[in-house]
Amino acid sequence: MPFLGQDWRSPGWRWVKTEDGWKRCEPFSPALEDGNNQLNDISSTVILTGGDEDEEIYSTEDCEFAAKKRKKDHFRNNTDSQCFYREKWIYVHKESTRERHGYCTLGEAFNRLDFSSAIQDIRRFNYVVKLLQLIAKSQLTSLSGAAQKNYFNILDKIVRKVMEDQYNPRLIKDLLQDLSSTLCILIRGVGKSVLVGNINIWICRLETILLWQQQLKNLQMNKQVNNGLTLSDLPLHMLNNILYRFSDGWDIITLGQVTPTLYMLSEDRQLWKKLCQYHFAEKQFCRHLIPSEKGHIDWKLMYFALQKYYPIKEQYGDTLHFCRHCSILFWKDTGHPCTASDPNTCLMPVSPQHFIDLFKF
């Protein structure tokens, strides 16, 4: 006959003998004990003496239930208590072996790699934002519940950083726009797609995203007062060299709005021709020739037209790398314990899209 109910041996409990009888002690986390000592004292002991034993056990079990519920609510509300790994490299295994059971998923890799600290590094910031944007477009529902919570925690830190440092707000606006569009579709089609958690949680997240979008829309750039040299004081050839360093057409247009001189340099046909040749192959822009009124090719319009049909090259200060010999994914500047005789020949840079493709089975 199966035993129904709590085992009398109480595995995992610790019993202490006192003058009033035996007491069962249940360990609680120090963070919870500090704020709720009185309730913990009631719910962590059972006195097995006296004539009203049944009544006492019943009331204590109620207290235990309330304490467990309080602990669960505490961990749900406290984002810092969510334990994610902070690793610089991880082993990517796609199948079970004798040495390893299971495989690494996109959500697991997202939780284990230190993306939360990576956004504080200006070299990795754009990389992480692009990765979050790709996940928002197609891979959000493939993440586990913990990975989705980690996703929005990192997104919250990114928005705070942009609001404080005013760094690249246009990139974050694009991310939030794609994420809000995805959530609107998922919330409308609830039951047809996989959403981890209550629908009200996703509605609250969508409202938070809309609030972030409004805050970024009202963001006012702080005007810096410098008594020294400014960008306008540089010679024309130096300003022209700066423009030629940009790989994004929108950055060139934004810089051209600063001064009339920069606007004149940003409209240079040769500048936009070099940009088209950098991002696209000759066969691609030969199919979409856009002549101007004078019969010349309008390379500026050509760039934005080609951008709709073909992906542009991505540039990042620091990216994740994959070692083909060790099957390890890691940040390049931190390295990894490679066993190859020549580790440099085994390294392969991993773009944000490639990162997602690594975990498609």
Per-residue confidence of the chain (361 residues) as pLDDT tens digits?
A: 444 444 444 455 667 777 777 777 655 444 434 444 443 443 443 333 334 444 443 344 444 544 454 444 444 544 443 445 567 788 887 666 666 655 678 888 888 888 888 888 888 899 999 999 999 998 888 888 888 899 999 999 999 999 888 888 888 999 999 999 988 888 876 555 567 777 888 888 899 999 999 999 888 776 665 667 777 788 899 999 999 988 888 889 988 888 889 999 999 989 998 998 888 887 777 776 766 666 678 888 888 888 888 878 888 888 888 888 888 888 887 778 888 888 888 888 888 988 888 887 5
Please list, in sequence order, all residues whose beta carbon lies within 8 angstroms of the beta carbon of residue 332, skipping any fewer than 6 positions away.
318, 319, 320, 321, 347, 349
User: Count H helices, E strands: the chain?
Assistant: 16, 6
**Contact indicator for 162, 168 with CB cutoff of 8 Å:** yes
pTM: 0.67
Q: Encoding tokens for residue 278? A: 């950098």
Q: What is the pLDDT of residue 212?
A: 92
CA distance 116 to 87: 11
CA distance 141 to 193: 8
- In Å, what is the CA distance from 260 to each residue of 223, 255, 266? 19, 10, 10
Provide the β-strand partners of residue 291: 297
Q: What is the pLDDT of residue 177?
A: 93
User: CA-based Rg of the chain, rounded to a whole angstrom?
Assistant: 29
Name which of 151, 113, 84 is nearest 321 in CA terms.
Answer: 113
SS3 176: helix
Alpha helices in 245-344 (DSSP H): 249-256, 260-266, 269-279, 282-286, 299-309
Torsion of CA 139, 141, 142, 145, to 10 degrees: 130
Please list, in sequence order, all residues whose beta carbon lies within 8 angstroms of the beta carbon of residue 344, skipping any fewer than 6 positions away.
none
> CA-based diameter of the chain, in Å?
104
Name which of 242, 286, 290, 245 is nearest 262 in CA terms.
Answer: 242
CA distance 226 to 223: 10
Q: What is the pLDDT of residue 128?
A: 92
Domain ranges for the chain, please list them. Answer: 99-218, 248-309
CA distance 67 to 22: 21
**Contact indicator for 302, 288 with CB cutoff of 8 Å:** yes
Alpha helices in the chain (DSSP H): 30-35, 37-43, 53-77, 106-112, 115-118, 122-134, 145-165, 169-188, 199-217, 236-244, 249-256, 260-266, 269-279, 282-286, 299-309, 352-357
Q: What is the pLDDT of residue 57?
A: 38
